[in-house]
Structure 1
Amino acid sequence: MPAPASPGELFENPVYWEFMGTSGTHSVLDVDRVIATEDEHDFGTVRPLSVAAIRAGFGSDQPSLADFNGMDPGDLDALEEAPRWSGHCMALYEDGVPCALAFWGVSGD
C-alpha cells in the first residue's frame, strides 16, 4: 500500500482501516482512542489505570517516573488485565505534580 500523505488520510481511507483491523501495525498506531477508567477495554483502546491498581502496584497514588521505570513489564501488565490490541496509561509525578504520562500495552501477537 502507498504511504498515506497525512494521518488524516490514514484514518479516512477504508483500505488502511481494513489492514489495521486485520493485521495491525504492531505499534502505537493500533491504538486510536482513550476510554474512561470505568469503561470496558475494546480493540484499539487505552484506559487509565484505576487508582486501586496504582496503589496496589506502586504503594502510592502518585508514582514517580523512577517508580514506573523500576517496574518489570510483566508486573505492569498484571496490574489490570487488558486484551491484545489495547493498553493502559497513568500520570507520573515529581514532588506531587504530574510530570509525565506513561503508556503500555500489547499489540499484535
Structure 2
Amino acid sequence: MGASAWGYFVPYQPDLDLALQALRQKVFAEGDYYWGLTADWVPPEERRPRPQRIAELFADEYVQECGTHSILDMDHVLGPEERPDYRTVEPVSADEAKERAGTDRLTRAHIDAIDGLVRGRWFGRCAVLHDDAGQRAEIYFWGYSGD
C-alpha cells in the first residue's frame, strides 16, 4: 500500500502535546483512519470490527505492521530536549520557519513552504499558525505513516 500523507488543523492551545492527544481521540472516535480488517479482500473469517479503545487498536498485530495512515500513528509531540524518533511529532522551530517561509509567524499561506520538513515515514511535524492579526490561531499537524 505504501505510506499515506495526512494533515490536520486544530484550534491553538499552548500545550502542543495536549492538542495532539485530543486530535488523536477525535480521529479515533470518528473512525477516520485506515482499518483494513473489514475490507472486502480480507477473508470473512478474518474480518474484525474496529477496536473500542486506542490501546486496543495498537495491540493489534496488523496495525503494528501497517499503521492507521493517520495522526493516530503518532505518539507524542517532542519536548525541547528530545530528538525526533519513530512515531513522534516535531514542532517547527523558529529558525526552520524563517528559512522556509521567511517568517516565524506562520499562517496557512505558508503551508507549502514547510510541508517538506517531514523527515520521512512514521514521523510528524506541527506548526503554530497565526491569523491575519498575527495572533496564534491554530496548530497544523502533518506527516506520513503506514505501510
How high is the TM-score relative to the length of structure 2?
0.58
1:76 to 107, 115, 118: 115
Contact preservation (8 Å) 1:84, 1:106: yes
Pair 1:43-2:80 in alignment: no
For structure 1, the residue ranges without an aligned partner over 5 or more in a row are none
Counterpart of 1:54 in structure 2 is 97
Counterpart of 2:55 in structure 1 is 11
Q: 1:30 to 1:96 in 2, by over 3 A?
A: same
Please report the RMSD computed on the Cα atoms of aligned residues, expressed in angstroms: 2.2
Pair 1:2-2:49 in alignment: yes
Following superposition, the deviation at residue 34 of structure 1 comes to: 1.1
Greater RCO (Cα-Cα under 8 Å, separation 6 or more): 2
Q: Distance between the aligned counterparts of 2:50 and 2:100, measured in 1? A: 41
For structure 2, the residue ranges without an aligned partner over 5 or more in a row are 1-47
Identity value in percent: 34
Q: Distance between the aligned counterparts of 1:89 and 1:13, measured in 2? A: 24
Deviation sequence 1:27-73 (CA, Å, 0-9, x none): 221112111254211121111011110110110110212222xx16x
After TM superposition, the structure 1 stretch with the greater mean CA deviation from structure 2, 19-28 or 92-101, is 19-28
Contact preservation (8 Å) 1:37, 1:50: no
**Alignment coverage as a number of residue pairs:** 99
How high is the TM-score relative to the length of structure 1?
0.75
